[in-house]
């Protein structure tokens, strides 16, 4: 049994399969063809933080695969009343076929997975957001072909998205140019990358964007860090993706943002709503890649 707790849980070959499968699943969805490979399977979704995209994409995706979903939050389950995570894992995984969790510490999802009888998917933790980078790379491939050998500029917080990009670069053979304010740097050991060869750190965000094939950013204050908001607003003021940054990137550069976005904070409206932005494709692709992911975790590789 496999879990998907961080990007490095899959090999490059497994990603090649999942991306090809996601393309097939997307084509069938767009042409109104049924694709009921998970008939009668049940997904439990556990949310300890807010969500729009992750909730809708997993829920709609599971129904489209012929299955059904159970939605739990901290507030309306015993998770919020201190039932041990290990006990919750044992119970929920006896009643469902696959579990998606959005929570705080990565250790929490690891403890859940260690006591689960069924595959567990990370729907975002403080440390990682693998389903998002899965969608982002699929989106890059759709627009520009293979990401191997390319350069991704990360402008902003050294957060869960940044860590996941570092793992992806390590595994899929591209480079990340990281620029964060002082005090918000990526940490190689938290990111869980074996070597620093796949990323370079830049003090100046403009320099990080120079020649980049993809420029990407995220909110200045992630969920769970709201108490730091005022300090972050000050610290991140120069880490806004601007049209000037996009102008020094490669001519065909794309802009991505996992959303939700704050125009005028981490990105200018002219960029996110501009011609290089693929944020709506990126959001939609959460649906297609996660259907491929759930199918792979439950059924393994299938013939095309």
- Enumerate binding residues for ligand NVA (CB under 6 A): 124, 159-161, 218-219, 222-223, 258
Main-chain dihedrals φ then ψ at residue 112, nearest 5 degrees? -60, -50
Q: Which is nearer to ligand NVA, 218 or 282 (CB)?
A: 218
Taking CB within 5 to 8 Å according to partner kind, which of ligand NVA, ligand CP, none is near residue 160? ligand NVA
What's the CA gap between 101 and 46, in Å, rounded? 5
Catalytic residue among 132, 167, 177, 213: 132
Q: Which is nearer to ligand CP, 125 or 198 (CB)?
A: 125
What's the CA gap between 297 and 41, in Å, rounded? 12
10 Å Cβ neighbour count for 64? 18
Respond yes or no: is residue 290 known to be catalytic: no
53 in contact with ligand CP (CB under 6 A) = yes
Residue 256 C-beta: closest distance to ligand NVA, Å = 12
Respond yes or no: is residue 157 known to be catalytic: no
Sheet-wide strand order for 98-102: 68-73, 42-47, 98-102, 120-122
Taking CB within 5 to 8 Å according to partner kind, which of ligand CP, ligand NVA, none is near residue 52? ligand CP
Cβ 217 vs Cβ 241: under 8 Å: yes
Respond yes or no: is residue 41 known to be catalytic: no
For tokens 């694709």, the residue is 35
The answer for residues whose C-beta is within 8 angstroms of residue 60's C-beta and 6 or more apart is: 287
Residue 24 C-beta: closest distance to ligand NVA, Å = 26
Q: Which is nearer to ligand NVA, 66 or 224 (CB)?
A: 224
Determine which residue in the list 6, 122, 132, 216 makes contact with ligand CP, applying CB under 6 A: 132
Interface with ligand CP (CB under 6 A), residue total 8
Respond yes or no: is residue 258 known to be catalytic: yes
Catalytic residue among 136, 170, 218, 268: 218
Q: Are strands 98-102 and 120-122 parallel, antiparallel or unpaired?
A: parallel
Stretch that binds ligand CP, among 12-20, 45-53, 224-232, 248-256 (CB under 6 A): 45-53
What's the CA gap between 52 and 152, in Å, rounded? 26
Taking CB within 5 to 8 Å according to partner kind, which of ligand NVA, ligand CP, none is near residue 167? none
Respond yes or no: is residue 132 known to be catalytic: yes
* Three-state SS at 229: helix
Q: Which residues in 60-89 contact ligand CP (CB under 6 A)?
A: none
What's the CA gap between 288 and 283, in Å, rounded? 10
* Three-state SS at 159: coil
Determine which residue in the list 155, 176, 258, 272 makes contact with ligand CP, applying CB under 6 A: 258
Respond yes or no: is residue 213 known to be catalytic: no
Biggest alpha carbon–alpha carbon distance for the chain:
53
Sheet-wide strand order for 151-155: 199-201, 175-179, 151-155, 214-217, 254-257
Q: Which residues bind ligand CP (CB under 6 A)?
A: 51-54, 124, 132, 258-259
Active site positions, annotated? 102, 129, 132, 218, 258, 286
């Amino acid at each position: 049994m496999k879990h998907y707790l961080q990007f490095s849980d899959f090999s490059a070959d497994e990603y090649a399969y999942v991306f090809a499968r996601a393309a097939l699943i997307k084509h069938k969805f767009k042409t109104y063809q049924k694709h009921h490979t998970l008939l009668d399977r049940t997904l439990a979704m556990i949310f300890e933080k807010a969500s729009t995209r992750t909730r809708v994409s997993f829920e709609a995706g599971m129904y489209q695969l012929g299955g059904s979903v159970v939605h739990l939050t901290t507030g309306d389950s015993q998770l919020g009343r201190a039932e041990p995570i290990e006990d919750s894992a044992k119970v929920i995984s006896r009643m469902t076929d696959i579990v998606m969790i959005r929570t705080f510490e990565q250790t929490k999802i690891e403890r859940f997975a260690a006591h689960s009888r069924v595959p567990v998917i990370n729907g975002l933790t403080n440390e990682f957001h693998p389903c998002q980078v899965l969608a982002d790379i699929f989106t890059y491939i759709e627009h520009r072909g293979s990401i191997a050998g390319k350069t991704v500029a990360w402008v902003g917080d050294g957060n869960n998205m940044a860590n996941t990009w570092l793992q992806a670069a390590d595994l899929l053979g591209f480079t990340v140019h990281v620029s964060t304010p002082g005090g918000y740097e990526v940490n190689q050991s938290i990111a869980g990358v074996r070597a620093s060869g796949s990323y370079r750190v830049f003090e100046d965000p403009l320099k990080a964007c120079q020649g980049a094939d993809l420029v990407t950013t995220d909110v200045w204050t992630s969920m769970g860090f709201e108490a730091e908001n005022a300090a972050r607003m000050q610290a991140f003021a120069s880490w806004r993706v601007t049209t000037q940054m996009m102008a020094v990137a490669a001519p065909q550069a794309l802009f991505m943002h996992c959303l939700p976005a704050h125009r005028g904070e981490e990105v200018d409206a002219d960029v996110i709503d501009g011609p290089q932005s693929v944020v709506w494709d990126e959001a939609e692709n959460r649906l297609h890649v996660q259907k491929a992911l759930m199918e792979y975790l439950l059924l393994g590789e299938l013939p095309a």
